[in-house]
């Protein structure tokens, strides 16, 4: 059902129920929040491999001779640096410099860019891109044409290798290839939102459930688990990856969110550039920092942050870090307070609990090869 | 699943009466809905619980949830084991993971609570 007002369902909805998932509404979609349990799923991804249905994510395709010009104008990172088969993390900004969304830009060909955007933002992103399409590139709202599966963890490659003839080792981090998985055409990208090695697979919706099942079977020997949005969130928080509506939104500029590395001012004109230039001159009023709880208590999204008894900011994401076995969080504070080792206090249900600003990411996967 | 001798709240707490004391906990359904429980905030011994008012807090990885007192009275004991082992609430919510013991001030309040059968119906409706 996709009647107005009802949450949308991915092609894997029935399979999630069959696998015993608990379903929740997220960004207008009815999604699995967990199957066996968030902690267990989180640890499966860190230690072996986990499989996520992320078909709620949106896809937008830009094609034609002016595809590069449009992609370059609406995103912050430098699209012209991409080689065919390469992906980059980037952002769409408003003229005022706030985030429309964050996204992945994949270069499929000189005249074809494939964008992966957040589920709840996809219609807004599409309208935003079309609004600035004075280049007359072809822009397609392609979400309904794809199911997306994320296979993540140190055993992701070994799992996927059983089901594909595509040379996976030949796909470097943040690169992709159009190949096949379990006999079906698939865009195989070495990307993810967990801090682990892994792949994001874009396949035809009708193939989604079958490929999901086959991946679960292929990963069985490694202890693969189907994973829900709960683990996806704890994993991305440990890896300090931004979540729209939390670390970034229309009121936050890239420099505040520690995302200046995806903004290439030198590439020339793009939407939001002028505002960022003014901001660079004036200086930012807040910075995103990571913290660990020192006192007993768990910081949660939206909790107020204090420094020396004065209101200093707010928690954007917080909770237990299942792999690190700590209570962690991200928060905004004025730039003069944003230093490693500084003590903050988080207001947890009316009580101030001590926290300390720490280096991020909280978790970084061990280097291999 | 839900012991006959317990009484239940619509907010998914249980109470088992032993003489003039009510042993209080959260239900199997509550822990299942919360998922992995990682933190428990217990009331203080000596404090007064009031039926329907906040007694403590449990937190899972994902969510924060208030615990409401199923009965009124003085808190005479709390289950300190849960502070270090909150996961007990997932494993044995109706037994080892009791939260607090309350000396009943108004035993007639038990009439406001659900029987096991009524609670089972409530859970069936919610799931």
Cβ–Cβ below 8 Å for A230 and B64: no
Q: Which two tokens stand for residue A124?
A: 């807004």
Cβ–Cβ below 8 Å for B38 and A349: no
Q: How many domains does chain A have?
A: 3
Determine which of B32, B57, B59, B62 to mutate to test the interface with A (most A C-beta atoms within 10 Å). Answer: B62
Residues with Cβ < 8 Å from A320, sequence gap 6 or more?
A: A234, A298, A326, A327, A328, B38, B39, B61
pLDDT by 10s per residue, chain B, length 127: 899 999 999 999 999 999 999 999 999 999 999 999 999 999 999 999 999 999 999 999 999 999 999 999 999 999 999 999 999 999 999 999 999 999 999 999 999 999 999 999 999 988 7
Q: Any chain A CB within 8 A of the CB of B36?
A: yes
Q: For residue B111, how many other CB atoms are within 10 A of its CB? A: 7
A chain contacts of residue B36, beta-carbon cutoff 8 Å: 37-40, 322
Pair A307, A322 in one domain = yes
Q: Which domain holds residue B13?
A: 7-126
Q: Any chain A CB within 8 A of the CB of B39?
A: yes
Helix runs in chain A, H state only? 13-18, 38-47, 67-74, 122-131, 156-161, 208-218, 229-238, 273-282
In angstroms, the CA A300 to CA A290 distance is 13
Ranges under pLDDT 70 in chain A: 1-4, 368-369
Q: How many domains does chain B have?
A: 1
**CATH code of the domain covering residue A289:** 2.40.30.110
Using an 8 Å Cβ cutoff, are A34 and A19 in contact? no
Query: Beta-strand (E) ranges in A54-208?
Result: 58-63, 87-93, 99-109, 112-117, 138-141, 147-152, 176-181, 184-189, 198-203
Residue A247 forms part of a structural domain: no
Pair A150, A126 in one domain = no
Min Cα distance B36 → chain A (Å) is 7
DSSP state of B63: -
Q: Which two tokens stand for residue B24?
A: 């209080």
Residue B2 forms part of a structural domain: no
Q: What is the pLDDT of residue A221?
A: 98
Cβ–Cβ below 8 Å for B61 and A33: no
Cα radius of gyration rounded to whole Å, chain A: 20
Q: Which domain holds residue A187?
A: 8-55+146-238
Nearest CA in chain B to A326: B38
In angstroms, the CA B73 to CA B55 distance is 11
A chain contacts of residue B59, beta-carbon cutoff 8 Å: 298
Residue B97 forms part of a structural domain: yes
Residue A87 forms part of a structural domain: yes
A312: phi then psi, degrees, rounded to nearest 5? -125, -20
Pair A150, A137 in one domain = no
Using an 8 Å Cβ cutoff, are A70 and A135 in contact? yes
Using an 8 Å Cβ cutoff, are B122 and B44 in contact? no
Q: What is the pLDDT of residue B55?
A: 97
Q: Any chain A CB within 8 A of the CB of B35?
A: yes
pLDDT tens digit sequence for A264-317: 999 999 999 999 999 999 999 999 999 999 999 999 999 999 999 999 999 999
CA distances from A20 to A182, A275, A277, A359 (A): 24, 48, 50, 38
Cβ–Cβ below 8 Å for A320 and B64: no
In degrees to the nearest 10, what's the CA dihedral of B95, B97, B99, B102? 20
Q: For residue A166, how many other CB atoms are within 10 A of its CB? A: 16
Pair A39, A180 in one domain = yes
Residues with Cβ < 8 Å from A59, sequence gap 6 or more?
A: A114, A115, A116, A117, A122, A142, A143, A145, A146, A148, A202
Cβ–Cβ below 8 Å for A39 and B61: yes
In angstroms, the CA A272 to CA A278 distance is 10
Which helix (H) or strand (E) element contains residue B81?
Answer: helix B81-84
Which helix (H) or strand (E) element contains residue B122?
Answer: helix B116-126
Q: What is the pLDDT of residue A4?
A: 57
Q: What is the pLDDT of residue A368?
A: 65
């Amino acid at each position: 059902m996709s009647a107005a007002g009802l949450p949308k369902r991915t092609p894997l909805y029935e399979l999630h129920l069959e696998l015993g998932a608990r379903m929740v509404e997220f960004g207008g979609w009815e999604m699995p929040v967990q199957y066996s349990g968030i902690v267990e799923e989180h640890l499966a991804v860190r230690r072996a491999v986990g499989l996520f249905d992320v078909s709620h994510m949106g896809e937008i395709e830009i094609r034609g001779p002016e595809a590069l010009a449009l992609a370059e104008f609406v995103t912050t990172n430098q699209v012209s640096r991409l080689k065919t088969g390469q992906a980059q993390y980037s952002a769409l900004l408003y003229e005022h410099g706030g985030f429309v969304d964050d996204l992945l830009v994949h270069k499929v060909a000189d005249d074809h860019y494939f964008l992966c955007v957040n589920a709840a933002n996809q219609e807004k992103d599409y309208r935003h891109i079309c609004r600035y399409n004075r280049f007359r590139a072809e822009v397609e709202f392609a979400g309904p044409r794809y199911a997306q599966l994320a296979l993540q963890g140190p055993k992701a490659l070994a799992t996927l290798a059983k089901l594909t003839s595509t040379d996976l080792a030949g796909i470097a981090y943040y690169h992709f290839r159009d190949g096949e998985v379990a006999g079906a055409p698939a865009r195989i990208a070495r990307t993810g939102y967990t801090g682990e090695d892994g792949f994001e697979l874009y396949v035809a919706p009708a193939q989604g459930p079958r490929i999901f099942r086959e991946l679960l079977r292929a990963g069985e020997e490694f202890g693969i688990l189907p994973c829900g949005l709960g683990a996806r969130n704890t994993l991305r928080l440990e890896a300090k990856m931004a979540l729209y509506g939390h670390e970034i939104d229309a009121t936050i500029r890239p420099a505040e969110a520690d995302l200046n590395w995806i903004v290439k001012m030198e590439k020339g004109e793009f939407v939001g550039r002028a505002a960022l230039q003014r901001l660079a001159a004036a200086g930012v009023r807040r910075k995103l920092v990571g913290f660990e709880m020192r006192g007993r208590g768990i910081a949660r999204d939206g909790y107020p942050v204090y420094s020396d008894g004065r209101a200093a900011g707010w928690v954007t994401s917080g909770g237990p870090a299942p792999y690190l076995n700590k209570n962690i969080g991200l928060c905004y504070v004025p730039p003069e307070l944003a230093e490693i080792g500084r003590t903050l206090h988080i207001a947890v249900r009316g009580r101030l609990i001590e926290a300390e600003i720490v280096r991020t990411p909280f978790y970084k996967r061990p280097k291999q090869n | 699943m839900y012991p006959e001798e317990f009484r239940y709240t619509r907010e998914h707490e249980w109470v088992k009466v032993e003489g003039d004391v009510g042993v209080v906990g959260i239900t199997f359904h509550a822990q299942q809905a919360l998922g992995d429980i990682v933190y428990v905030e217990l009331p203080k011994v000596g404090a007064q619980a009031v039926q329907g008012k906040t007694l403590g807090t449990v937190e899972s990885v994902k969510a924060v949830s208030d615990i409401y007192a199923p009965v009124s009275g003085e808190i005479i004991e709390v289950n300190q084991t849960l502070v270090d082992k909150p996961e007990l609430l997932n494993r044995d919510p109706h037994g080892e993971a009791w939260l607090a013991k309350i000396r009943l001030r108004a035993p007639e309040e038990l009439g406001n609570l659900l029987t096991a059968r009524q609670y089972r119906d409530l859970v069936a409706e919610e799931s």
